[in-house]
Chain A
């Protein structure tokens, strides 16, 4: 499991990743048990949660300039039943987590 930087914060248990935007505008939503993620994915998720909790920009915040970029919303459920919602522009989404929300053919 991902070790949260703040020991007082319950560890994440499940994460739902939603992707919007892109030239195609295909919406994607995928839910994962955090324990089933790879070590790299768990570490990336931990960093995103920590950055969001400390209100420290992961890399950039807010809508990026331009058009047709992806945007992500992470719903993180922790072991105590709490939920945290984190919005990330494409540039701030770790590559390790992007593959968790890929579109499939209908």
Chain B
């Protein structure tokens, strides 16, 4: 039997590098704005200015720490033997205790998850040259049959967890290969930029999981960018009642606001609500990637995903990045990966969703 530790990590799994966190309730931009507001008394403005300076100092320290951690990891990796990631499967038996009962001989649903997870590892290794979520061969744990009628799948910081759905909206959540790719990619992001899970950075975190999840599904099925099914998120988890009502997916990266999406999303930056859930605002960068990959043509696991991955591993991608900052990095990556033509296609894709890239 295996249990999680206090951080929700399986006790028999290797520890993920734990990042120090430093979050601010009041955005620095708000502090800065009111520190310069003549309608506020001088003493309060002085206090706001001092707080703004301190938050900027702490943010600089946080970024320096993150980058130093990544560099140390690379140094460690250079001299280490390559570790091939193993898989661990668990049966929650409809309870909520993680990780659940170990499954030693995968069959049925467990074999499906085992095989698809192995394919995600192969995708990251062969297409992107990455060894599991941490690029050091991190062993992957998956728990199935989580809770009762649980209509969700999630990454808990160290493993993947799948519910069986409620039978009305969703069936078993592992039945879409892109969902397994999506959850595993959250582990990749956690080990790279650690995009903060709120606001625009949270929407980028979600979008990156949708992008790599769908491109993994395209690679798995050998679908070109012109195949509409390749851009659907969660097509395999929709339950018969939802399908009967015309909902064929959770999200569609080509047409985020489509009526066939159970979770329709805004398509333009000007339409997003900054306070909305991170899964709602991810439609804008999702559409930017789909537009970019379709303009590039061929297969999305060629230059298009390589440009996005180049941005994800870029040490200047901050954990609190905005759409605008992310766009600028992808455009630079596109130039590096595919030259001026790919750069132009990437620039055009961001323009189509109304995101202006940040100035360098």
Q: Using CB atoms and an 8 Å cutoff, list the residues of chain A in contact with chain B.
A: 20-27, 63-70, 95, 102-106
Contact = CB atoms under 8 A, between A and B. Distances in A.
Contacts of A95: 96, 147
Nearest to A27: B277
B15 to A, nearest CB: 12
B282 to A, nearest CB: 8
A24 B234 contact: yes
B143 interface: no
Given A65-B156, A66-B156, A103-B169, A23 B179 contact: yes
A24 B157 contact: no
18 contacts: A22-B151, A23-B173, A23-B179, A23-B234, A23-B279, A24-B152, A24-B234, A25-B206, A25-B279, A26-B263, A64-B156, A65-B157, A65-B158, A66-B157, A67-B155, A68-B186, A69-B156, A105-B247
A105 B241 contact: yes
Contacts of A23: 152-154, 173, 179, 182-183, 234, 250, 279
A66 B154 contact: yes
Interface residues of B, number: 39
A92 to B, nearest CB: 12
**Interface SS, A side:** loop
B305 to A, nearest CB: 20
Interface in B210-257: 234, 241-242, 245, 247, 250
B135 interface: no
B154 A102 contact: no
Contacts of B205: 67
Contacts of B157: 64-66
B271 to A, nearest CB: 16
A34 B84 CA distance: 53
B209 interface: yes
Among A21, A66, A102, A106, the most chain B Cβ lie within 10 Å of the Cβ of A66
Contacts of B168: 104-105
* 8 A-B pairs with least C-beta separation: A25-B279, A65-B157, A68-B154, A66-B157, A67-B186, A66-B156, A22-B152, A66-B155
Nearest to A69: B154
B50 interface: no
B166 interface: yes
Contacts of B234: 23-24
